[in-house]
A and B are shown apart, each in its own frame.
Chain A
Amino acid sequence: MTLYIKHKQIVVPGELIIDEGKYVVEGKVYCINKRYYSKVLGLVEVDEENKRIKVISLKGKYIPEVGDIVIGKVIDVGLTNWTVDINSPYTAILQVTEVFSKPTSISRNSLSQILDVGDIIIAKVIAFDFTRDPLLTIKESKLGKVTKGTMVEIDPSKIPRLIGKKGSMISMIKDMLDVDIIVGKNGRVIVVGKNPLKEGISTLVIKMIEKEAHTTGLTDRVKIFIEEKLREVKQ
């Protein structure tokens, strides 16, 4: 059994990772003839302690999964539903029953009064199995229409890096800049802050994380970057 790659190495599709054996291999890989190959252009993480290898994609489109919180944009108002763009190859559907908790009779005009084309919503995926378009809900708490803040769009595969280990990265940005950040799994991020300047810095920081997601020691660099920007603002 040989390991063909190193920790934090960038691999291309079809690059040999490891023979079947001691390690548990997960992520974007496939197996032929008891050998694991990478499926994507990605980054390898080798966890020697738990004997785990993971291949993480560096780029890619968002594919909905049940339970994901996503940030969508209403693109069409129908008779009993809204069509929502969720930054994915599959457009989502939001039904009237998933908006109100009580049964209500509604005409078409009033539907666009609740949510109109162009509105941004925070929603949760409740059903998706590739055969039909995903269904959303905004019935739960913290979901619903977004009325303020800035929206930033980044590559969906970089979202875990933005959140960091146990939310370390995101909570650091929140604390340092005194803003609230809502992260959608589909690569859209909403920043809400009292100070518009700090909101602006947050968007710069998010863009920086997207660009340097595959490098090490990013948290420290982000910290320095924020401190620098804060000093500039004060002057």
Chain B
Amino acid sequence: MKISPIKLIDENGRRIDGRLPHEIRKVKIESGVLKNADGSAYIELGNNKIIVAVYGPREVYPKHQALADRALLRCRYSMAPFSVEERKTPSPTRREIELSKVIREALEPAIFLEEYPRTAIDVFIEVLEADGGTRTASITAASVALADAGIPMRDLVTAIAIGKVEGLLVVDLNGLEDQYGEGDMPIAMMPQLGYVTLFQADGRFTAEELKEAFKLANDAIKKIYEEQKQALKRKYLKVAEIGEI
């Protein structure tokens, strides 16, 4: 474990960016931001800025990858070279390849893939600015983009990271807390159905902390879920207002 050069929690119990331990960062989600894509979404979670484009269902190329009984879900998570302080090489790194897989597996159970055999659904995730918790924000935005594309889903998928900083459980880690904290636990859920689709953890957590973390994640996810719902509906309500006059 690296020793933190700064105090992550001050004497008033405030975190480094002034939040309380159980407070999430400011969330802003927008749907339908890209014109060429079938569905798209943009999310701002604190300093994270991520854009997601969804194409599909469409024909699979190369054709041999097509599955006879369901659609093929492909995810690409990539970080822009300017998204972090030190330039990130544009070629996919080990971390990006892994995250692509993790995100795909978090989204897969939510989609009715069996409705479109022999097709592909492509999800492109582009991180413009990263500050801790990009995988959770990506999952949140990707599910909005999928819904915006009109793809049938069981539920939206919402994700949040729970962390441990100076022995205390905190919700929604930022970059510094992620780097110097004692643990990081991203959780993705289908909020309406209550299913967990992603659960990872590094660091040490006791059984009690795990239970507590789940409860905290549940509360945070409920809040973000509302934001996702609004983002999807807003687009259509805007047109409706013009229409009614």
Contacts and interface: CB of A to CB of B under 8 A. Distances in A.
Contacts of B232: 10, 12, 41
Contact of B192 (A15, A40, A89, A211): A15
25 contacts: A10-B232, A12-B229, A13-B152, A13-B153, A14-B155, A14-B191, A15-B192, A15-B229, A37-B193, A39-B153, A40-B147, A41-B148, A41-B150, A57-B150, A60-B150, A61-B56, A61-B58, A61-B150, A89-B59, A90-B59, A212-B239, A212-B243, A215-B240, A215-B244, A217-B243
A115 interface: no
Give chain B's interface residue range (CB within 8 Å of chain A).
35 or more
Interface stretch (B89-97, B114-122, B169-177): B114-122
Contacts of A221: 243
A30 interface: yes
Interface of A: 10, 12-16, 28, 30, 32, 37, 39-41, 57-61, 63, 89-91, 130-131, 157, 211-212, 214-218, 221
B154 A13 contact: yes
A interface SS class: loop
Contacts of B229: 12, 15
A176 B55 CA distance: 38
A224 B190 CA distance: 45
A152 to B, nearest CB: 17
Contacts of B156: 12-14
Contacts of B147: 12-13, 40-41
Contacts of A30: 112, 154
Contacts of A16: 192
Given A40-B147, A131-B68, A89 B155 contact: no
Given A32-B193, A212-B240, 5 more contacts: A12-B229, A37-B192, A59-B148, A61-B56, A89-B118
Closest 5 CB pairs of A and B: A14-B155, A59-B150, A215-B243, A60-B150, A13-B153
